[in-house]
A = this chain, B = another copy of it.
Amino acid sequence: MNTFTEFDVKNQRNLTMLVDFYELTMANGYLNKGVQDTIAYFDMFFRRIPDGGGYCIMAGVEQLIEYLSNLKFTKNDIDYLRSKNLFSDDFLEYLLNFKFTCDVWAIPEGSPVFPNEPLITVRGPIMQAQFIETMVLLTVNHQTLIATKSARICEAAKGRAVMEFGSRRAQGYDGAIYGARAAVIGGCSSTACTIADEMFNIPAIGTMAHSWVQLFDSEYDAFKAWAETYSDNTVLLVDTYNVLKSGIPNAIKVFNEVLKPLGKRPKAVRIDSGDITYLSKEVRKLLDEAGYEDVKITVSNSLDEFIIRGVLENGAKIDSFGVGERLITARSEPVFGGVYKLVAIEKDNKIIPKIKISENVEKITNPAFKKLYRIYDKGSKKAVADLITLHDEVINESSALELFDPNYTWKRKKIKEFYCKELMVKIFDNGNLIYKSPSVMDIREYSLEERNKLWPEVLRLENPHAYYVDLSHKLWELKEALLHEYSSVFE
């Protein structure tokens, strides 16, 4: 049954058929109507930051690359599709010979990102550029959601280590695996998810469950057996019976009787239930009194950014946090609403911008093939705004730049001493991969650096300052003109 266990399938899944069925019916329609090779431009972007936060953390690009690199329909896929009696033979033949030839731009993973700016831009034959919609969204929505939540939780922990502990409550296997990856990108220092370490080189850690303690005749016996096995790395779970009356006294006894004679120091105790503020303070006292000032206290139990902020404000003595279900599912807001919209097509070698209108003004898209710049203040080196321009606009760093709110155009600001960075990098050129993903730990580092370039007001957990994402004059004028063309629709 299990014929390929020695083969490392982990990074090699073919997810071509993980696609909304309508992408296939549209593709068949494009071919039927002879428009399959029309060059189209799509943007992926989002409209709202989850949890009322001030920024999101881009993630998922490496998995998007793997997906696009492995795009291929198998004979089984074709047979399955034929059985639906919807698709032409020409179309099925086309799929069998499918070759990805799009250009793809993406904001690198770990970057802070903001509403209404393109995170991904795809240019290519509409048949292909449309087809990949489901997986672009699924991949980036999921990991950006978790990386963003992780960033919030790490922000609340104020430099203390946060460990990702959520596999058992994740939404499916990839929810656990790529969720752990995204959590580390967002700032977690480690994970309990072993396979994520094996795949991505992010430190996996773990100690014992309550069942270890229950298996032995007493808590003391259980701790002793543990310390004897892991004398270099002793972390004891002290809340199976009663933290202060049983767990800590037994732990100290074992530290003294097992580790001390070996000249070893215990690492930590873990509390997984109860009033962690109170317990951590009392545990700290007991450990200190016994001469274990260097032994850390780590806690877990339905934590999130608000609980962590609360226990620290109340003086809890906690060195690190294990965060499970509320991180791995982004429980407070478990959906990242990224969308993928047609923004232009090419006709007679000219780029024709397209706009998706809506009665809901916030749902109107930014048309055209675009570029995205981040503007930094020269003195403070802080990011002051992102600017979306047409693809062929160049920003002159030596003259002043006028920014204005695209919805309230009288809100204007002149920026003089600045420099700017183009945010999107090209990752596929005519279907060829031209980008190498950094390691996850490098992305984590990069992300922490980039977040340091945001003002603290933007990083705030609640009621943050809204970071500016503005349109260039040219782009704004183009958008207005297109809206006027469609104004009759609202009559």
- Indicate if A334 sits at the interface (CB-CB under 8 A): yes
Given A134-B167, A334-B331, decide whether A173 and B208 contact each other with a Cβ distance below 8 A. no
Binary interface encoding of chain A residues 2-21 relative to chain B, with 1 for a CB under 8 A from any of its CBs, else 0: 11111111001111011111
- Min CB distance A120 to B, Å, is 13
Q: Does A97 lie at the interface of the complex (its beta carbon under 8 Å from any beta carbon of B)?
A: no
Query: A99 interface residue, CB < 8 Å from B?
Result: no
Residues in chain B near residue A142, CB distance under 8 A: 170-172, 175
- Any B CB within 8 A of the CB of A153: no
A225 at the B interface (CB under 8 A): yes
Please tell me if A26 contacts chain B, counting CB pairs below 8 Å.
Answer: yes
CB atoms of B4 and A7 under 8 A apart:
yes
* A137 at the B interface (CB under 8 A): yes
- Judged by a CB distance under 8 angstroms, whether A408 is at the interface is no
Question: How far does the Cβ of A444 sit from chain B's closest Cβ, in whole Å?
Answer: 19
CB-CB contacts of A185-229 with B at 8 A, as 1s and 0s? 000000011110110000011111111101100000000011011
Q: Is the CB of A359 within 8 A of B274?
A: yes
Q: Which of A164-188 contact B (CB under 8 A)?
A: 165, 167-179
In contact, A229 and B32 (Cβ under 8 angstroms): yes
Given contacts A35-B215, A138-B167, A325-B335, 20 further A-B contacts (CB under 8 A): A1-B12, A5-B74, A18-B176, A20-B168, A21-B197, A21-B204, A21-B206, A29-B225, A32-B229, A33-B229, A42-B211, A84-B204, A138-B173, A145-B171, A168-B340, A169-B335, A214-B354, A273-B360, A325-B337, A329-B329
Q: List 19 A-B contacts (CB under 8 A).
A: A1-B69, A5-B70, A18-B193, A20-B194, A20-B206, A25-B230, A32-B225, A32-B228, A40-B215, A137-B169, A142-B171, A169-B335, A171-B330, A172-B172, A172-B173, A172-B178, A172-B179, A211-B342, A274-B359
Binding site for B on A (CB under 8 A): 1-9, 12-15, 17-26, 28-29, 32-33, 35, 38, 40, 42, 69-70, 72, 74-77, 80, 84, 86, 126, 130, 133-134, 137-138, 141-142, 145-146, 165, 167-179, 192-195, 197-198, 204-212, 214-215, 225-226, 228-230, 233, 240-242, 245-246, 273-274, 325-326, 329-331, 334-338, 340-342, 345, 354, 356-360, 363, 486, 489-491
